[in-house]
Amino acid sequence: MNKLTFIFFLLIALIQYPLWLSDGGFKNVLEKNKQIKDQQKINSALKKENDALTAEVNDLKKGTKAIEERARRELGMIKKDEVFFQIINKKK
């Protein structure tokens, strides 16, 4: 009876080995799930960035306000007959 129990235990252990330790086993599945979640976070952040850039491109194509804002902010341009004031804070 003792030998039979040992044989059954050994067979069960051999059957369980691929499930837990092989390349397609449980450990590998958990690692892949973590990689998928990490990649989904990265993709989500990149999608938000792409959506913002797409909205900006569409705004630049269709409207003049965005172009005017960029010209003012990045190039320091002002309109005709407009007065520009620059306030400089002195550091103490």
The tens digit of pLDDT for each residue in 70-86 reads 788 888 788 888 887 77
Residues 12-44: tens digit of each pLDDT: 888 888 777 777 778 888 889 999 999 999 999
The structure's pTM equals 0.52
3-class SS letters over the chain: CHHHHHHHHHHHHHHHHHHHHCCCCHHHHHHHHHHHHHHHHHHHHHHHHHHHHHHHHHHHHHCCHHHHHHHHHHHCCCCCCCCCCCCCCCCC
